[in-house]
Copies of this chain bind each other. A is one copy, B any other.
Amino acid sequence: MSDPTTLGDLQLAIMRVLWARGEASASEVHAALLAERGLAPTTIATMLRKMEDKGVVRHRAEGRQFVYRPAVEERAVRRGMVGELVERLFLGDPAALVNHLLSDGQIDPDELEALKELIAGRERRAQGGSGRG
């Protein structure tokens, strides 16, 4: 348990590949990230192994290749990392983060509409009953 979800930048990039594909060999991950990162294949492989130690991915052998699969959901990672940021930066108040986003002008004006609807929907659901599961 503890806090499995605090991934670095490269780890996140790797996870994105894995989440998108469901699974991928080390070389596939490397190929997928080559353009944006240009890292050595061993770097990816090493990272993948470290990530497996951490429990965020798992692998199975397919021939002489390792095929990696995410062991944590994207949602959980998001929750963990966002939660940590909120804790660190906004003293645990998520609304303060939204507040910051809004008042800092980091959100496109045209997104505001969509957000309002999102909130409205959320309100309706909250009244309807129970929380999340």
A-to-B contact residues, CB < 8 Å:
9, 12, 75, 77-79, 81-83, 85-86, 88-90, 94-95, 97-109, 111-116, 118-120, 122-123, 126, 131-132
Q: What is the bound-complex CA distance between A20 and B90, given in angstroms?
A: 14
A102 to chain B, nearest CB (A): 5
A122 and B119 alpha carbons, distance in the complex (Å): 15
Specify which of B89, B95, B105, B113 is in contact with A131 (CB 8 Å cutoff): B105
CB distance from A21 to the nearest CB of B (A): 17
Contact between chains at B119 and A115 (CB < 8 Å) = yes
For this chain, the copies found in one complex come to 2
Q: In the complex the two chains form, is B79's CB within 8 Å of A82's CB?
A: no
Let me know if B89 and A82 touch, CB within 8 A: yes
Q: A95 near B107 (CB under 8 angstroms)? A: yes
Contact in complex: A81, B75 (CB < 8 Å): no
Determine the distance from Cα of A120 to Cα of B109 in the docked complex, in whole angstroms.
11
Contact of A9 among B88, B116, B126, B132 (CB under 8 A): B88
Report B-chain residues with C-beta under 8 Å of the C-beta of A120.
116
**Interchain Cβ contacts under 8 Å between A and B, 23 examples:** A79-B100, A79-B104, A81-B88, A81-B89, A82-B89, A82-B97, A82-B100, A82-B106, A94-B101, A94-B106, A94-B111, A95-B115, A98-B98, A98-B115, A99-B115, A102-B118, A102-B119, A103-B118, A107-B122, A109-B122, A112-B126, A115-B119, A116-B120
